[in-house]
Homo-oligomer: A and B are copies of this chain.
Amino acid sequence: MVDAILQASARVLLKHGYAGMSTNVVAQQAGVSIGSLYQYFPNKASLLTALHNRHAEQMAQSIEAILAAPGGHGLRGEVVRLVRAAMAAHEMEPELHRQLEKERPFFESPTDEPGLSGDIHRHILRLLQEHPDVVAHSDLALAAWMTMRMTESLVHTAVLHPPHDLDAVRIEAAIVDAIHAFLTYPRAG
Contacts and interface: CB of A to CB of B under 8 A. Distances in A.
Contacts of A174: 142-143, 146, 182
A33 interface: no
Contact of A112 (B161, B177, B182): B161
A93 interface: no
Q: Chain A at the B interface: mostly helix, strand, loop or mixed? A: helix
A105 B171 contact: no
Interface of A: 17-19, 98, 102, 105-106, 108-112, 139, 141-143, 145-146, 149-150, 153-154, 156-158, 161-166, 170-171, 174-175, 177-178, 180-182, 184-185, 187
A149 B177 CA distance: 14
Nearest to A17: B106
